[in-house]
Amino acid sequence: MSDLTNDRKLEHIRAIEKDPLTDRSGHYFDRIQLMHRGLPELALADVDSSCEFLGRQLSFPMLISSMTGGDHQLIKSVNRNLAQAAQICGVAMAVGSQRVMFSTPEAKESFELRELAPDVPLIGNLGAVQLNYGIGIEQAQAAIDCLGADALYLHLNPLQEAVQPEGDTDFSNLAQKIAELVAGLNVPVLLKEVGSGLSPSDIETGLQAGVRIFDVAGTGGTSWSRIEHHRRKDESDLGIKFQDWGIPTPTALKLANPYLGSATIVASGGLRDGIDMVKSVILGASLCGMAAPLLKPAMESVEAVVTEIEKIKTEFRTAMFLLGARDIAALFNNRAHILEER
């Protein structure tokens, strides 16, 4: 059991390396065209892309989405590179599922990142379904403490579990257990999907359980169905059949929009540049996550991750300039920036 959870993370990375089509390249944000301003009445240098998330300052609303953790040298160095780059660039970082800490104690080290990223939001991660398989408040608090986390992501991945040969597929009665976690932990709990999107019913159930921050993690980018397909040894094509299943991220953001009065929304799933990020903020996202685009740089070095994030930041600031948006408040949930949607 312990080796399975630990090794799975490496198998995921190898599957992504071998098969570029695990990134579905949906480009759903390309269907939205923004209102260019020829006279932005603004100096590019005066664009202020900074914002706050979980009480900490960010240089722009970017999150390194949950990816990995475990007892392997490669995985430890991926997390260290991401954490240092997050601190240098002033962006948030989430780690991958910390369940492995409880089966392989040596994996804890891969989540001990606070010293490397003292000033930015760090977000822990556990699978919500694990609340039906032995994980409880004690383990969730241990995961938070190990990372020095500002919040804990509970990921919802029914498609991934359904395709996984050894999947945990009992998603019944989770809302009550999520509510108990929300009430019992010393940091906020966030709900996220992993690339199939959250529906309005998911958000309503989460709100009733006391969750206030939701990461829609829609389709268009990394497909866990396709990744898990590669891990199957049998002839099943279930993972291919469902590889594009779910709610495209821009649609998920629009569906989440009515809840903005009571919920904070995070965009992720197929965001691939600073322009996708700007569109997400216009659709009501307070933070924009990317996972797969940062994996390869993270396997190289801190500098490679910093270079990638700085490129995305330049794109983000350039788009703000061309929209005449001086700061994030001028962008956030402001449909006036949308020219047309195809």
Nearest by Cα to 160 from 11, 264, 277:
11
> Between β-strands 32-34 and 338-341, what pairing exists: parallel, antiparallel or unpaired?
antiparallel
Q: What gap in Å lies between CA 89 and CA 79, rounded to an integer?
A: 15
Q: Which is nearer to ligand FMN, 96 or 325 (CB)?
A: 96
Asked if residue 155 binds ligand FMN (CB under 6 A), the reply is yes
| Among residues 97, 104, 225, 286, the one that binds ligand FMN under rule CB under 6 A | 97
Asked if residue 121 binds ligand FMN (CB under 6 A), the reply is no
Q: In this structure, are residues 185 and 137 in contact, taking their beta carbons and an 8 Å threshold?
A: yes
Q: In this structure, are residues 121 and 93 in contact, taking their beta carbons and an 8 Å threshold?
A: yes
Asked if residue 92 binds ligand FMN (CB under 6 A), the reply is no
Asked if residue 198 binds ligand FMN (CB under 6 A), the reply is no
The window from 81-89, 129-137, 198-206, 217-225 that contacts ligand FMN (CB under 6 A) reads: 217-225
* DSSP 8-class letter at 104: -
Residue type at 98 in one-letter notation: Q
Q: Which is nearer to ligand FMN, 91 or 290 (CB)?
A: 290
Q: In this structure, are residues 279 and 34 in contact, taking their beta carbons and an 8 Å threshold?
A: yes
Asked if residue 99 binds ligand FMN (CB under 6 A), the reply is no
Q: What gap in Å lies between CA 94 and CA 263, rounded to an integer?
A: 19
| Among residues 291, 309, 319, 325, the one that binds ligand FMN under rule CB under 6 A | 291
| Among residues 6, 49, 59, 66, the one that binds ligand FMN under rule CB under 6 A | 66
Asked if residue 282 binds ligand FMN (CB under 6 A), the reply is no
Asked if residue 68 binds ligand FMN (CB under 6 A), the reply is yes
Q: Which is nearer to ligand FMN, 65 or 225 (CB)?
A: 65
CB of 267 to ligand FMN, least distance (A): 10
The angle that helices 249-256 and 200-208 make with each other, rounded to 10 degrees, is 50
Q: What gap in Å lies between CA 153 and CA 151, rounded to an integer?
A: 7
Asked if residue 292 binds ligand FMN (CB under 6 A), the reply is yes
Q: Which is nearer to ligand FMN, 308 or 326 (CB)?
A: 308
Nearest by Cα to 95 from 271, 34, 108, 103:
108
CB of 301 to ligand FMN, least distance (A): 18
Q: In this structure, are residues 56 and 121 in contact, taking their beta carbons and an 8 Å threshold?
A: yes
Asked if residue 125 binds ligand FMN (CB under 6 A), the reply is yes
Q: In this structure, are residues 86 and 93 in contact, taking their beta carbons and an 8 Å threshold?
A: yes
Residues in the chain: 342
Asked if residue 331 binds ligand FMN (CB under 6 A), the reply is no
Q: What gap in Å lies between CA 216 and CA 174, rounded to an integer?
A: 18
The window from 140-148, 183-191, 288-296, 306-314 that contacts ligand FMN (CB under 6 A) reads: 288-296
The window from 36-44, 61-69, 80-88, 253-261 that contacts ligand FMN (CB under 6 A) reads: 61-69
CB of 42 to ligand FMN, least distance (A): 30
Q: What gap in Å lies between CA 60 and CA 49, rounded to an integer?
A: 5
Asked if residue 189 binds ligand FMN (CB under 6 A), the reply is no
The angle that helices 137-147 and 174-184 make with each other, rounded to 10 degrees, is 50
Asked if residue 290 binds ligand FMN (CB under 6 A), the reply is yes
Nearest by Cα to 161 from 228, 207, 210:
228
| Among residues 6, 59, 268, 280, the one that binds ligand FMN under rule CB under 6 A | 268
Q: Which residues bind ligand FMN (CB under 6 A)?
A: 12-13, 16, 65-68, 96-97, 125, 153, 155, 192, 194-195, 217, 221-222, 268-271, 290-292, 295
